[in-house]
Amino acid sequence: MDGTMWDGVQKLRGWLDAENQAAVGDVRLLRVLKITEEAGEVAEAVTGALGANPRKGDSHSWQDVEKELGDVIVTAAVALATISSDPEKALADRVRGLLDRLGLD
């Protein structure tokens, strides 16, 4: 993820911080929990793209799944930016650690 993406994440975080009505101690928890909500929307979109719910049929497209996955990624990035002083480095370190563990570096 490039710096431009992280600039956008920080803008979103700033907007959320300004608009937030939650108690200060709850903000981190709520932003992490929001990832689960967004992941549920991905699951709903996949189910709809596959037409796997007989009551709803083909209710979503794979483009809907793509959008929802983007929401999960952005939500996770905002949560990471909320709890980390350097979220870009934290994510880069994690990716590097996974690559190293798998011998893909």
Does position 25 have pLDDT exceeding 90, yes or no?
no
CA angle, residues 83, 87, 93, in degrees to nearest 5: 120
Which tokens in the block code for residue 39? 């992941």
pLDDT digits (tens, 9 = 90+) for 59-98: 999 999 999 999 999 999 999 999 999 999 999 999 999 9
Which tokens in the block code for residue 5? 């993406």
For the entire predicted model, the pTM comes to: 0.91
Instruction: Calculate the average pLDDT of the chain.
Output: 94
Q: What is the predicted pLDDT for the residue at 2?
A: 63
For 46-65, what is the mean pLDDT? 95
